[in-house]
Amino acid sequence: MGVEPENTLRSFAAAQRAGLDLIELDLHLSKDGALVVMHDADVDRTTDGSGPIAEKTLAELRALDAGRGERVPVFEEVLEAVRAPLQAEIKDVAAARALAEVMRARDLTTRVEVSSFHDDAVAEIARLVPGVRTALVASRYGTDVVDRAVAAGASTVCLNIRRLTLEVVEHARASGLRIIGWVVNTQDHLRLVRALGLDGATTDYPEIKRTGRFTA
């Protein structure tokens, strides 16, 4: 997020205060199997530590500074701190299985949408949590992304706005999919979202909510 340390409770609180429709977060598994909230596979960019998340225990991750004194949050903390609907991005099938346990235990099917760049992770969470809303995310893609999303059981495609074309939009609409554009941080991209009639957009700047419907 552009105004607070990303993927921290502080950033989620700011997004919630801005009244965004949905708050996006990223999930990885720690060495001891905890669902931790961080975008990258390693901690180097967003904390004062170094190394892969998968090689660190939850206690080791919690000892890091994630920016402005914030700790690396776990998924359950975000659930307690934020009341807005969430979109949780998972990185692999193992994370899908861990997230499915939490979603079933806490009855989160209507509150949490699950997204992933990986078709198999989308298909796995859909299998494990019947009725969950899922989204396939893509950066480099063609019209084939629509067919992949349908095959994985996704109801939404989250697509890099810089590569989005009318052909892809029309194919997605014909297949009954919702379309979210990312990352929309400029007025030019906002105009494109509106021109293409997208269902929403992901942004790093919650204040852009004043001019459209967004997630962050």
Report whether 114 contacts 133 (CB < 8 A): yes
Note the pLDDT tens digit of each residue in 33-72: 999 999 999 999 999 999 999 999 999 999 999 999 999 9
Number of residues written out for the chain: 216
Average pLDDT over residues 17-45: 96
In whole angstroms, give the CA distance from residue 163 to residue 43. Answer: 29
pLDDT digits (tens, 9 = 90+) for 119-168: 999 999 999 999 999 999 999 999 999 999 999 999 999 999 999 999 99
Q: Where are the beta strands (DSSP E) in the chain?
A: 23-29, 35-37, 86-90, 112-116, 134-138, 156-160, 178-182, 200-202, 214-215
CA distance linking residue 164 with residue 101, whole number of Å: 34
Q: 185 and 204 in contact (C-beta within 8 Å)?
A: yes
What is the percentage of the chain residues whose pLDDT exceeds 90? 89
Paired tokens of 6: 């990303």
Q: Considering only CA atoms, which of 141, 140, 31, 135 is closest in space to residue 86? A: 135
pLDDT at 173 over 80: yes
